[in-house]
Amino acid sequence: MSQQGTKHAGFLGSLKDALAAASRDDTQRGPAPAAAEPTTQLIKAETPKPAAAAEPAKAEAAAVPAATAAAAPAPSPSAAEAAREVKAQTSLKAPDKHVEFGAPPTTRVVRGGAPKPTPDPIETTDAPRTQLVRGKVQVKRGEFEHDPVVGWLVIVGGPGLGSYRPIFEGNNTVGRASNQRIPLDFGDDAISSEEQAYLRYDSSSRSFLFVPNLAKTNIVSINDKRPTGAVELNQMDVITIGRTQLVFVPFCGADFDWAELTDSKD
């Protein structure tokens, strides 16, 4: 009993001593500090750093090598650009081309077939291909197929207006019948059927003579004059026979005659 009382007394004594010592420490330390304010209030209460503190950071940023800036990744394309690029790569249809109709073609069309051989150069000679001939031209001819034409009678009034009849070399009989050398068979009954007049071309003198047939009762006139004998005809003279008027148009004369070709015959 005494031993247990002694043990309890010793334990209580040591406990009292510990409490006393703790109270002394609290008294020496002073009052307990107030509760800490929230972290957010401490951040707000912080004062801004002076400008001098930011300058080292700028200096460090300026010291970054140019190679690092160049190696920065390029900005990624937008979704629309990426879609267009993928569509262009996967599409099987060739892209349409805008064609300007006014622009010249850029592609030359070459049709099939072997190319044409280049012709050999033509050997030239000293003699010209075309020769200039001065003076009278020499014409070669054969025999006449029929009597040569030396002029024409053109109807300018009466039946057969606009028609014509050729005048041949030598003597020509004028009448309404078809057997006349110059037949005026256009329906004018006032013209005698045979030998109403004579028209002659003389190659030696190169002149035309008109001779009326005075045995006929039908009247013949030249330029409104009634001849009684042979009359020399000139270009554009008007001959009236019955109710028909004819204009004389010569082909042979002072400038040309068929004899010139006869003389040049080989």
**Is 228 a residue whose pLDDT tops 70?**
yes
Question: Mapping DSSP to helix (H, G, I), strand (E, B) and coil, where does residue 151 land?
Answer: strand
Q: Is residue 263 part of a domain?
A: no
State if pTM tops 0.85. no
pLDDT for the residue numbered 39? 47
| CB burial readout 66-86, b (16+ within 10 A) else e | eeeeeeeeeeeeeeeeeeeee
List C-alpha distances in Å: 105 to 99, 112, 218. 10, 19, 82
Q: What is the CATH number of the domain that holds 192?
A: 2.60.200.20
Instruction: For residues 92-97, give the mean pLDDT.
Output: 52
Look at strands 220-222 and 197-202 and give their pairing.
unpaired
- Residues 14-46: pLDDT tens digits? 667 767 776 665 555 555 555 445 444 444 445
pLDDT for the residue numbered 264? 56
Q: Is residue 177 part of a domain?
A: yes
Q: Which two tokens stand for residue 216?
A: 């006929």
Instruction: Check residues 103 and 63 and name the one with the higher pLDDT.
Output: 103
Q: Give which of 155, 156, 244, 249 is closest to 192, Cα–Cα.
A: 244
Query: How big is the chain by its Cα radius of gyration, in Å?
Result: 70
pLDDT for the residue numbered 166? 97
- At residue 261 the predicted structure's pLDDT band, cuts being 50, 70 and 90, is confident
Burial label, 136 (beta-carbon count in 10 A; 0-12, 13-18, 19+): exposed
pLDDT for the residue numbered 67? 46
Burial label, 115 (beta-carbon count in 10 A; 0-12, 13-18, 19+): exposed
- At residue 126 the predicted structure's pLDDT band, cuts being 50, 70 and 90, is low
Q: Is residue 206 part of a domain?
A: yes
Q: Sheet harboring 170-175: ordered strands across?
A: 182-183, 170-175, 197-202, 207-212, 231-232
pLDDT for the residue numbered 84? 77
Q: Is residue 100 part of a domain?
A: no
- At residue 242 the predicted structure's pLDDT band, cuts being 50, 70 and 90, is very high
How many Å separate Cα 197 from the centre of its chain?
67
Instruction: Check residues 112 and 156 and name the one with the higher pLDDT.
Output: 156
User: Could you give the CA distance from residue 208 to residue 195 in angstroms, rounded to a whole number?
Assistant: 17
Lowest mean pLDDT among 5-9, 79-83, 209-213, 224-228: 5-9
- Residues 139-188: pLDDT tens digits? 566 677 778 999 999 999 999 999 999 999 999 999 999 999 999 999 99
Instruction: Check residues 232 and 32 and name the one with the higher pLDDT.
Output: 232
Q: Is residue 192 part of a domain?
A: yes
* Number of domains observed in the structure of the chain: 1
Domain interval for residue 156:
149-250
